[in-house]
Structure 1
Amino acid sequence: MPELRVGDRRWSVTPGTNLLDALNDAGMSVPYSCRAGSCHACMVRCVIGEPLDAAPEALDSERRGQGWRLSCQCQVAGDLAVEVFDPLRDGLPATVVGADWLSPSVLRLRLNPERPLRYRVGQHLLLWTENGVARPYSLASVPGDDPFLEFHIDCLRSGAFADVARTLKNGDPIRLGELQGGALRYDPDWQDRPLLLLAAGTGLAPLWGVLREALRQDHQGDIRVLHLARDAQEHYLTGPLSELAARHSNLSVESIEGSGFAAVLGELRVTSRQTIALVCGSPTSVEAFSKRLFITGLPRGQVLSDEFVERG
């Protein structure tokens, strides 16, 4: 059977075993979130040998050339030695410069990285706590406009990352891991087309960045924002969104509570087949929004979506 090695640890595994499972079953505590090759939390570096990789395109050529692989997408085929991502060695140091509550369950976290980070709206960034818990979160900030990196953390339920996030205060250290593309973005070529931004819960975070980027680039088409939340208290950006709508005649904002979701969904229409729809939230809400858009006749290529997997 193939031998798997991490540092001084060596053990045998069954051929075809998922690499992430093999590492965690042996107590390596490799973090993960989506298990779909999207979050990049489970990266390991192969130093000897090569696993079978089901998603080689998920990492850029530079990362792959350095030996990094997404362990959730790999199977052990032969002898393999790997290094687990070490945030102290491989991560970018950052400092908490803001931790305040936007609603009873949504924490706004603002970070100042040790060195500037080049990113675009809609991307995800892996956050590492000091005790080694990692989760990917969408950026809510806008490069060039905001002097910090902003994230909206749903702390309703207890979880390894959320429990630490609740205790963070200004000056606390945190580490930044892999920056990922994400499906959501703003394209200047859309300037004259209607935009439909559909968010559930903290799925509003990346769309808040996309919206501000669109307005910064003087978007000319109509922009409609719908935010689905559990209750009225959880419409956590109502004030800032209303202020933007008051300044931009092409922007409209609607708040939806869970009890009224079915009715709003049934009435959802697009005003033009040129509409670009961006959808973000839980898998259930993303599927519901997207299905309705397809029924109304919006082409699939004009619906961009990101799903948030709840894992604390």
Structure 2
Amino acid sequence: MPELRVGERHWSVAVGSNLLDALNQNGVPVPYSCRAGSCHACLVQCVRGLPGDSRPDALSAQQRDQGWRLACQCQVVEDLQVHAFDPQTDGRPAEVAAVDWLSATVLRLRVVPQRPLRYSAGQHLVLWAGSVARPYSLASLPQEDRFLEFHLDCRKPGEFSDTARQLRIGDPIRLGELRGGALHYDPDWHARPLWLMAAGTGLGPLFGVLREALRQDHQGAIRVIHLAHDADEHYLAKPLQAMAASRPNLSVELWTAAELPAALAQLRLVSRQTLALLCGAPDSVDAFARRLYLAGLPRNQLLADVFLPRG
């Protein structure tokens, strides 16, 4: 049986054991969220030996050369020595700048990194509050905001969101790996119709993308659609409507879950050049995507970032 070693600790595990489970079940706390290789919360560094890897494409060549792997996607196949990501030494220091509620269930967290962080609208990173970690998409814009902004869905209990409720201005927080998802704004799109379709807090990263498009003076029509459980959860309705009032090419539609079937049925493309960016829970993104494909949107003109539930 292969031996797994972390620091001074070592133990035997069955061949083919999932690395994340082998660590957590033996007292090495490695955080995780999606267990699908998307969130990067379970990043570990292989110091000696290499595991079997189901998602070699999930990390950059440089990260892999340095031994970094996603524990949830790895199997122990030989003796392996691992360094678990330590937010105190591997993370970037930051502090809480603001914590406030945008609705009854959406908590806005703003943090200021000790050193400026280079990022683009639509990216996400792992936040560490003490030993608790969770990946979140950025809702801020680097060219305009001095802080990093995140929108936390607190409808259900969660280890990180429960911790975030207790955060106060000035509290320390650590930033994990910055990662680029599918969502972004390309200046080459400036004349094309742009649809931004979000469910719940999937609106956060698309709000950043929208602001980037407006900052670059996007000339095509921009259609923003936000799907919420009910009308009270359209948590960015006022700023979106204010932006639409000053930009004739921007329209905003606020849908509720009860209205979704009828609203989707009426969805029509005005141009085959339309680009669609989708974000939110899997069922909502799937519903958006299916309707867009039926309406004639080419698949390569749809970009989606799915918020996977904790596995």
Query: TM-score w.r.t. structure 1 length?
Result: 0.97
Per the TM alignment, residue 65 of structure 1 is displaced from its structure 2 partner at its CA by 2.2
**Counterpart in 2 of 1:147?**
146
Per the TM alignment, residue 94 of structure 1 is displaced from its structure 2 partner at its CA by 0.6
2:56 is matched by which residue type in structure 1?
Answer: P
* SS at 1:286 equivalent: helix
CA offset digits 1:73-107 (Å, max 9, x no partner): 11111000101111011111111111111101111
**Counterpart in 1 of 2:116?**
116
**Counterpart in 2 of 1:166?**
165
CA offset digits 1:121-179 (Å, max 9, x no partner): 1001100011x111100000011111110000111111100101111121111110000
**Counterpart in 2 of 1:250?**
249
**Counterpart in 1 of 2:100?**
100
CA offset digits 1:199-225 (Å, max 9, x no partner): 000000000000000000010100000
Bigger Cα displacement from structure 2, 27-36 vs 40-49: 27-36
Per the TM alignment, residue 24 of structure 1 is displaced from its structure 2 partner at its CA by 1.5
**Counterpart in 2 of 1:8?**
8
Find the aligned partners of 1:101 and 1:180 in 2 and give their Cα distance: 26
**Counterpart in 1 of 2:305?**
306
User: Is the 1:159–1:311 Cα contact (8 Å) retained in structure 2?
Assistant: no
Find the aligned partners of 1:62 and 1:165 in 2 and give their Cα distance: 32
* SS at 1:179 equivalent: strand
User: Is the 1:2–1:15 Cα contact (8 Å) retained in structure 2?
Assistant: yes
User: Is the 1:20–1:42 Cα contact (8 Å) retained in structure 2?
Assistant: yes
User: Is the 1:155–1:166 Cα contact (8 Å) retained in structure 2?
Assistant: no
CA offset digits 1:214-247 (Å, max 9, x no partner): 0000101000000001111110001100110011
1:73 is matched by which residue type in structure 2?
Answer: Q
CA offset digits 1:171-196 (Å, max 9, x no partner): 11111000011110000111110001
Per the TM alignment, residue 62 of structure 1 is displaced from its structure 2 partner at its CA by 2.4
**5+ unaligned residues in a row in structure 2: which ranges?**
none
User: Is the 2:35–2:310 Cα contact (8 Å) retained in structure 1?
Assistant: no
**Counterpart in 1 of 2:37?**
37
Find the aligned partners of 2:34 and 2:88 in 1 and give their Cα distance: 23
- Number of aligned residue pairs: 311
Per the TM alignment, residue 57 of structure 1 is displaced from its structure 2 partner at its CA by 2.2
**Are 1:232 and 2:270 an aligned pair?**
no
List, as ranges, runs of 4+ consecutive aligned residues in structure 1 with deviation greater than 4 Å.
none
**Counterpart in 2 of 1:202?**
201
User: Is the 1:204–1:281 Cα contact (8 Å) retained in structure 2?
Assistant: yes
Find the aligned partners of 1:185 and 1:270 in 2 and give their Cα distance: 21
**Counterpart in 1 of 2:269?**
270
Find the aligned partners of 2:74 and 2:157 in 1 and give their Cα distance: 30
Over the aligned positions, Cα root-mean-square deviation in angstroms equals: 1.1
**Counterpart in 1 of 2:278?**
279
* SS at 1:62 equivalent: helix
**Are 1:81 and 2:107 an aligned pair?**
no
Find the aligned partners of 1:142 and 1:212 in 2 and give their Cα distance: 7
**Counterpart in 1 of 2:58?**
58
**Counterpart in 1 of 2:125?**
125
User: Is the 1:122–1:207 Cα contact (8 Å) retained in structure 2?
Assistant: yes
* SS at 1:150 equivalent: strand
* SS at 1:158 equivalent: coil
CA offset digits 1:57-77 (Å, max 9, x no partner): 221222222211111111111
- Residue identity over aligned pairs, in percent, reads 65
Find the aligned partners of 2:166 and 2:69 in 1 and give their Cα distance: 32
**Counterpart in 1 of 2:295?**
296
Query: TM-score w.r.t. structure 2 length?
Result: 0.98
